[in-house]
A and B are shown apart, each in its own frame.
Chain A
Amino acid sequence: MRALFAAAAAVGLAFFVLPVAAIFLEIAPDDLVGRMGDPVVRDALTVTLKTSAVAQALILGIGTPAAYFLASRRFRGRSLLLTLVELPIVLPPAVAGIGLLAAFGRLGLFPTSIPFTQLAVVLAVCLVAGPLYLRQAIASFEAVDRTLVEAARTLGARPARVFARVALPLAAPGLGAGAALSFARGVGEFGATIMFAGSLQGLTQTLPLAVYSEFDRDFELALAIGGLLVAVSALVLLAVKLLVPWTRFAPTFPFLSAPSPSS
């Protein structure tokens, strides 16, 4: 019986690890590093870093106060609102892409010339990766002991000071983990981006889009970009695990299971 369970674990693990390992087995380390100089890679890396940075700034800048508001207020329809926030997480990215076109396309609800620009990449990333941060941030603010907030107020702190000196520092590890997750998700964004922003080299072609456009033209280059993305993902995961040291096995997507803000 125990052997059966162990075998299941072995097969599952091997299946998860194999594709990642295959990338590094199929291309020699020298070649992998050498191909980083390729203009396609450099353009894609620049676009990815630029759009990710702007998207993250928007997500953190708007998401943090929004999460604090949603975490500290109780009002009618709050659960509905929180469910709506989580919807994009489970939505197929292609649907997010077509939705963005329907909203901001030239023939959309609010006609703009955003599609197929770098701003379109930023918006696609925000829509797909933002909710990850928002949900994690809400859970982190909810986990801050209410008594500490009340103590701060009785000590004369106005709401802005309570936020800056008490809530924000205490929620910081959780916020950091959320930011890392949404960053990773944003860097890997594919479906919504290709539909709403296209895949124009040097303008809207991010690293994952470059993998796709190169794989039937230059398989080795696609592998090299894949290796780069694996490295980025591994670093993000490591950062998350370091930021949330008090959970032995922190589920990286806690919001998909029952949220436990107090633990």
Chain B
Amino acid sequence: MDALRADLSVPLRSFPVELELEVRAETLALVGPSGAGKTTVLRAIAGLLRPARGLVALGAETWFDGRVDVPPEGRRVGLVFQEFALFPHLTVRQNVAFGGKQRRRLDGAQERRFRLGRHRSGNQRADELLARLGIRRLASARPSELSGGERQRVALARALARDPGVLLLDEPLGALDPHTRGQVRAELREQLGRLGLPTMLVTHDYADAAALADRVGVIVDGRIVQLGTPAELLAAPASPFVAEFTGVNLLVGTARPAPDGLTEIELADGTRVRSADRLEGRVGVVVYPWDVAIARAAPDDSAQNHVRARISAIVPLGNRARVTLGPLTAEVTEASAERLALRPGETVVASFKATAARLTPLA
């Protein structure tokens, strides 16, 4: 399987997009806020946008290098657009067959088969793809008759119809309502896993990125600020921004050894927290929200860290609730939140163990 290499420089109105990536047979997610240049990256790889300079190549095939600029129709790219961009005047089968009709450069044996008429027709191949994605029964429907999840699968089938060497997905779950999102996410993950193509997707939702991708790159103002596995990003976010995006707590402070063998970190506001990790100097303290407990009064327990703070927000998440208090976010069950009768504006105590405070060096 050929790897996709992209080394791009695209000037945008407020900042340039500058990044270098290599995607093997894996799924790489670029995640970042709207307007960070995520879609620009996909468009440049697909050939819909010409970078100022750089390189786009799939294996030995160069698609762009300043002198060479292969038009989109000549690049083996499957691009799934954000709103899916299905052709409204064609049926599902015709939509999918659209991508499979043009003849690729055939080798000798393929050429003979083609002449003998033993090649599969566009419609047959479309039906196969539809069957693979479990939507064979929709073949004669028009896009306007489909649900969001069904459109997504048709768009994926269509992108696969031309046998792409690389698959690009722009906000693959963005056009779906929250209700179908979870299910489609699971399906998409399974499909991407089976395809084994170099796949790149962009999303503004870290949860989607973490669920779908093997590696995640956080992109801000056109630059990748951190690239790693979802677990790596959670464990050691490189900046408060990355932490905020992944939803973990990152407290920045100065660490020095404490007499009892632990590490004491003094935060900017003077609060001291303790960690079992050994590190000195400027550090980030990573605390997962689900490791933070909330109590009305400081409990007499094994936790080394107790932070008294006012609740600024409570966001329900299914059967859990996300409670923001001071510099921390805690995730507690809905039941616990109700039992403690937590309300915004109240002052409570957040506790976490020194072993749940992981240190990561900051530049």
Chain A residues packing against B (C-beta within 8 Å): 145, 147-148, 150-158, 161, 165-166, 169-170
- The reply to whether the CB of B102 lies closer than 8 angstroms to some CB of chain A is yes
Question: What would 13 more interface pairs be, CB under 8 Å, given A147-B83, A150-B85, A154-B75?
Answer: A145-B85, A150-B72, A151-B81, A152-B98, A153-B71, A154-B72, A154-B79, A155-B98, A155-B158, A157-B98, A158-B73, A161-B102, A165-B98
For A169, give its contact among B46, B72, B89, B162 (CB under 8 Å).
Answer: B89
Nearest Cβ distance between residue A150 and chain B, in whole angstroms?
Answer: 5
Q: Which of B25-58 contact A (CB under 8 A)?
A: 46-48
For A155, give its contact among B48, B89, B99 (CB under 8 Å).
Answer: B99
Find out whether the CB atom of B162 lies under 8 angstroms from the CB atom of A151.
Answer: no
For B81, give its contact among A147, A166, A169 (CB under 8 Å).
Answer: A147
Find out whether the CB atom of A148 lies under 8 angstroms from the CB atom of B87.
Answer: yes
Find out whether the CB atom of A156 lies under 8 angstroms from the CB atom of B73.
Answer: yes
Q: Can you list 27 residue pairs at the A/B interface with Cβ under 8 Å?
A: A147-B83, A147-B85, A150-B48, A151-B79, A151-B81, A151-B85, A152-B98, A153-B47, A153-B48, A154-B46, A154-B47, A154-B48, A154-B75, A154-B77, A154-B79, A155-B159, A155-B161, A155-B162, A156-B101, A157-B73, A157-B98, A157-B102, A158-B102, A161-B102, A166-B87, A170-B88, A170-B89
Chain B residues packing against A (C-beta within 8 Å): 46-48, 71-73, 75, 77-79, 81, 83, 85, 87-89, 98-99, 101-102, 158-159, 161-162
Chain B residues contacting A153 (CB-CB under 8 Å) are 47-48, 71-73
Main SS at interface, chain B: loop
Find out whether the CB atom of A156 lies under 8 angstroms from the CB atom of B85.
Answer: no
**Residue of A150, A151, A157, A170 with most chain B CB atoms under a 10 A cut-off:** A151
Main SS at interface, chain A: helix
Q: Which residue of B lies closest to A166 (CB)?
A: B87
A153 to B158, CA, bound (A): 12
A158 to B103, CA, bound (A): 12
Q: Which residue of A lies closest to B98 (CB)?
A: A155
A145 to B99, CA, bound (A): 18
Chain B residues contacting A145 (CB-CB under 8 Å) are 85
Nearest Cβ distance between residue A173 and chain B, in whole angstroms?
Answer: 10
A30 to B78, CA, bound (A): 66
Find out whether the CB atom of A156 lies under 8 angstroms from the CB atom of B162.
Answer: yes
Nearest Cβ distance between residue A56 and chain B, in whole angstroms?
Answer: 24
For the complex of A and B, 8 pairs with smallest distance between CB atoms: A155-B99, A151-B85, A153-B72, A154-B79, A147-B85, A156-B102, A154-B72, A169-B89
Nearest Cβ distance between residue A98 and chain B, in whole angstroms?
Answer: 45
Q: Which residue of B lies closest to A157 (CB)?
A: B73
Chain B residues contacting A147 (CB-CB under 8 Å) are 81, 83, 85
Nearest Cβ distance between residue B103 and chain A, in whole angstroms?
Answer: 10
Chain B residues contacting A166 (CB-CB under 8 Å) are 87
Nearest Cβ distance between residue B102 and chain A, in whole angstroms?
Answer: 4
Nearest Cβ distance between residue A77 and chain B, in whole angstroms?
Answer: 23
Q: Which residue of B lies closest to A158 (CB)?
A: B73
Chain B residues contacting A161 (CB-CB under 8 Å) are 102
Chain A residues contacting B77 (CB-CB under 8 Å) are 154
Nearest Cβ distance between residue B243 and chain A, in whole angstroms?
Answer: 34
**Residue of A152, A153, A154 with most chain B CB atoms under a 10 A cut-off:** A154
Nearest Cβ distance between residue A156 and chain B, in whole angstroms?
Answer: 4
A165 to B87, CA, bound (A): 10
A158 to B87, CA, bound (A): 16
Chain B residues contacting A152 (CB-CB under 8 Å) are 87, 98
